[in-house]
A and B are shown apart, each in its own frame.
Chain A
Amino acid sequence: MSPGTETIADPVADPVVEHVDEDRPRTVASAAPAADRVFRAVVRASGLLVLLVMGGIGAFLAYQAIPTLRVLGWSFFTEVQWRPEGGRLGIASVGLGTIQVAVVAILIAVPLALSVALYISEYAPRRLRRTLIALLDLMAAVPSVVYGLWGFYFLQPQIIYLARWLSTYLGFLPFFHVDTDVHAATWEQSKYTSSVFICGVVVAMMVLPIVGSVMREVFSHAPQGEREAALALGSTRWGMVRSVVLPFGRGGIIGGTMLGLGRALGETIAVVLIISPAFDLKFRVLERGGNTISELIALRFGESSPFQLSALLAAGLVLFLFTLVINMLAAVVVARSRSGAATEI
């Protein structure tokens, strides 16, 4: 790309070439002008600065987490309670809660996101498409505190009926069980509020546009020729989607899902607003109470002794490593599914 590497054939010299044994390219590399050297230095410096700041955060988290891990050892990962005064600190329950919220969110968000992506790329009228894409982006831009407010004040009073229905008729499944008498004349509404399930639904609203836009992007790159071939062979629209679009977009579906999972794990504010904190190992998602790592940080950072602060940083590091691994895998999957070549003219 830089001018120094180009081979330049001099057209004027062409007739002479026949008398010369070898056509040697003239070396055109010259010292970059001063402005260029300054420019490169500045740009390199800012790249380096970004590397230092960003890498510094990761290194700082890891460094700060060391004392905690040295004192607590493996019990940091297996201890259920978070009682700094008793020296019992562990992320077993919050880690489990984080995963539960994220899994509920993904289970709800992925089918909806898949439908939205398919609708926009395959079913929607062509002139509506841009507007719908803009709406999907808008949904991603709505602040999480707004989703949290909506979930707490609007969704929760409605969705507890669904939660009760699930626990009444599907309560034999352990994760739908709620520890209350489902056939009582007046049911305990408060048992069903502030649960992992409601958090999951709200977080699903937040990750849905992220998952959906990755899927839509990949679907829209499905080769037009193959689509037309499928239609020309007499397949229905769904047949075309199933045999061309979905197989082509498999990487996008998996990658988008994982990207959404990464976001769902780190979500804070909606969870703080909705869930009622409880430290216990349980798998009953419909029941009141739960906890996540990010909520733990948001609630406990203020009252912190240096030791607890270090433990919170360790918990933050664990959360970051979760999301990091998932995002990396997602990036690999998405990158493999589409051609990332630059456009050339």
Chain B
Amino acid sequence: MTQSSVDEMSIVDVPRRVGGRTLDDVLAVVGALLGSLALVWTAYQNLLPTSGLLGFLCCWYAVFLLMYAGVTALRHPRTVVADRVAAAVVHALAGLVGVALLLVIGYTFWRGSDALGHGNFFVSDLSGAGPLDPLNKGGVLHAVVGTLVEMAMAVAITLPLGVACAVFLNEVRGPLTRPVRTVVEAMTALPSIVAGLFIYVTVLVFAGFERSGLAASLAVGVMMLPIIARASEVVLRVVPGGLREASLALGASQWQTVWRVVLPTARPSLATALILGVARGVGETSPVLLTAGYTTYLNADPTHGPMASLPLVTFNLAKSSEAVDQSRAFGAASVLLALVLALFVIARVVAARSGNSKGGRS
């Protein structure tokens, strides 16, 4: 932003870059890296009775930090040494987290590729395939259908209710605003397993309904409702008050203001918040575990009979000791992960579009 304003005014006075690295800094890092590698390789691999990749990397990093601090201390005061060491630690730990995330996603898809390679994995259910059948029999179609049906119902319940609740908290207000907000915030702390247990006890045990997709979507809905209500409220809160006042001043009614001004202004970020809430609900296993019932048959009717979903199938197959079932579990997990990634990319695209349009307007 400062760059563009400088260009516009065509001032010759270009700000000096203060964050740049000198050759000295680069050499200190590279030298410490190589020196510590050589030292640790000699000591750890060849002199001491130690072995193992993990230990090697840890020792290498520890020796690197010491060497880097030492090399920097030759030419710089203590504050600079602390700066360099802190930067090295922050970079290393952040990199470690990135590697861990890559490992989680990569390992799931890698193990899942066995099952995903067979076309039947996507078009048949598991009813005819036992744990000893090869991977070219059976698939997770029933789980995909179950997930889509359950999520559609959960979204149909929670979305209007959650957004209306957010509108109530932020636009209409009333004596109940404070208790509703407190309770909604409190319920975001509800562990998903307790949400599942609640629906299990009320709907299945007391009311006597059978395990079904409907019960599962109720459980997921109970878990998602406070998340969506809260996220939407946060989004509505940042809609500029001036827009509301302008609309009201032009004679619009409150309903028109909310419907034509507030919600459209918040639409992109609202969509992002909702999609992320849905992504959270799709992957949640524990409420489904208690309420949906596990089945290997394709069942598209949410009101009758057990209905499997992707997390539930993954969980059930993962407990098996048969390698084929484990492959299927990773296959189902890959499909689930791909679904979440897709939702996530959609959310990002929506958010990016909102960022652009906002930039254009201002």
Confirm or deny: B83 has a beta carbon within 8 angstroms of a beta carbon on chain A: yes
Partner of B240, one of A146, A152, A328, A344: A344
Q: How far is the CA of A123 from the CA of B162 in the complex (A)?
A: 38
> B355 CB to closest chain A CB, in angstroms?
9
With A and B bound together, what is the CA distance between A54 and B187 in angstroms?
7
Say yes or no: is A316 at the interface (Cβ < 8 Å to chain B): yes
**Interface with B: A12-20, A73-81, A88-96, A261-269, which one?**
A261-269
Partner of B344, one of A43, A138, A144: A138
| A297 CB contacts on chain B under 8 angstroms | 193-194, 197, 290
Partner of A134 from the list B55, B282, B289, B348 (CB cut-off 8 Å) is B348
Given contacts A119-B91, A135-B101, A149-B108, contact A143 B194 (CB under 8 A): no
Contact B104–A344 (Cβ < 8 Å): no
Among A153-161, A177-185, A192-200, A279-287, the stretch in contact with B: A153-161
**0 or 1 for each of B233-271: is its CB under 8 Å from A? (1 = yes):** 000011011111100110001111010000000000000
Contact with B89, one of A115, A138, A237 (Cβ below 8 angstroms): A115
A344 surroundings in chain B (CB, below 8 A): 240-242
- From 204 to 258 in chain B, residues with beta carbon under 8 angstroms from any chain A beta carbon are 205, 222, 225-226, 229, 237-238, 240-245, 248-249, 253-256, 258
Contact check: which of B97, B241, B290 meets A298 at CB < 8 Å? B290
**A5 CA / B111 CA spacing, docked (Å):** 64
- Given known contacts A43-B172, A44-B172, A162 and B54 CB-to-CB distance under 8 angstroms: yes
- By beta carbon, the residue of chain B nearest A267 is B191
Interface status of A313 (Cβ within 8 A of chain B): yes
Tell whether A86 is near chain B: CB-to-CB under 8 Å.
Answer: no
State whether the Cβ of A236 lies closer than 8 Å to any Cβ in chain B: yes
Tally A-B pairs: CB < 8 A. Answer: 292
- On whether the beta carbons of B179 and A149 are closer than 8 Å, the reply is no
Q: How far is the CA of A161 from the CA of B256 in the complex (A)?
A: 64
Near B by CB (< 8 A), chain A positions 119-178 give 119-120, 122-123, 134-135, 137-139, 141-150, 152-154, 158, 161-162, 165
Asked if B149 is an interface residue, CB under 8 A from chain A, the answer is: no
Report the minimal beta-carbon distance from A210 to chain B, rounded to whole angstroms.
11
A103 to B194, CA, bound (A): 21
Is B103 among interface residues, defined by CB-CB distance under 8 A?
Answer: yes
Residue of A nearest to B170 (CB): A342
Say yes or no for B165: interface residue by CB 8 A criterion. Answer: yes
Give the docked Cα–Cα distance between A328 and B183 (Å). Answer: 11
A145 pairs with B285, CB closer than 8 A: yes
Given contacts A141-B283, A342-B238, whether A236 and B103 have CB atoms under 8 Å apart is no
CB contacts (< 8 Å) of B87 on chain A: these are 123, 237-238
Beyond A48-B176, A298-B289, A331-B185, whether A269 also contacts B315 by CB under 8 A is yes
Residues of B within 8 A of A225 (CB): none
Count how many chain B residues have C-beta atoms less than 8 Å from C-beta atoms of the other chain: 107
Contact in complex: A309, B201 (CB < 8 Å)? yes
Q: Would A3 and B249 count as touching, CB distance under 8 A? A: yes
Contact across chains for A115 and B90 when beta carbons are under 8 A apart: yes
The answer to whether B315 and A345 have CB atoms under 8 Å apart is no
Are B253 and A142 interface neighbours, CB within 8 A? no
Contact of A153 with B179 in the complex, beta carbons under 8 Å: no
Q: Say whether B9 faces chain A, with CB atoms less than 8 Å apart.
A: no
- Interface of chain A, main secondary structure: helix
Contact with B along A10-44 (1 / 0, CB 8 A): 00000000000000000000001101101110111
A137 to B165, CA, bound (A): 25
The complex places the Cα of A42 from the Cα of B240 at a distance, in Å, of 24
Chain A residues near B189 (CB, 8 Å)?
262, 266, 320, 323-324, 326-328
- A253 at the B interface (CB under 8 A): no
Instruction: Kindly list chain A residues whose C-beta atoms are within 8 Å of the C-beta of B276.
Output: 137, 141
Is the Cβ of B311 less than 8 Å from the Cβ of A40? no
How far is the CB of B57 from the nearest CB of chain A, in Å? 12
Complex CA distance for A150 and B280, rounded to whole angstroms? 18
Contact A123 B97 (CB under 8 A): no
Are the CB atoms of B186 and A142 closer together than 8 Å? no
Instruction: Other than A161-B52, A239-B82, A313-B197, give 9 A-B pairs with Cβ distance below 8 A.
Output: A3-B248, A39-B255, A53-B222, A116-B93, A143-B337, A144-B285, A205-B104, A266-B191, A316-B193
Question: What are some 23 contacts across the A-B interface (CB < 8 A)?
Answer: A1-B245, A33-B253, A39-B258, A46-B165, A47-B164, A47-B168, A47-B180, A48-B176, A51-B176, A55-B183, A57-B195, A64-B201, A116-B97, A119-B90, A145-B315, A154-B103, A158-B54, A266-B190, A272-B315, A294-B194, A312-B197, A323-B190, A327-B188
**B interface, CB within 8 angstroms of A:** 18-19, 52, 54-55, 79-80, 82-83, 86-87, 89-94, 96-98, 100-101, 103-105, 107-108, 111, 160-162, 164-165, 167-169, 171-172, 174, 176-177, 179-180, 183-195, 197-198, 200-202, 205, 222, 225-226, 229, 237-238, 240-245, 248-249, 253-256, 258, 276, 279-280, 282-286, 289-290, 311, 314-315, 318-319, 326, 329-330, 333, 336-337, 340-341, 343-344, 348
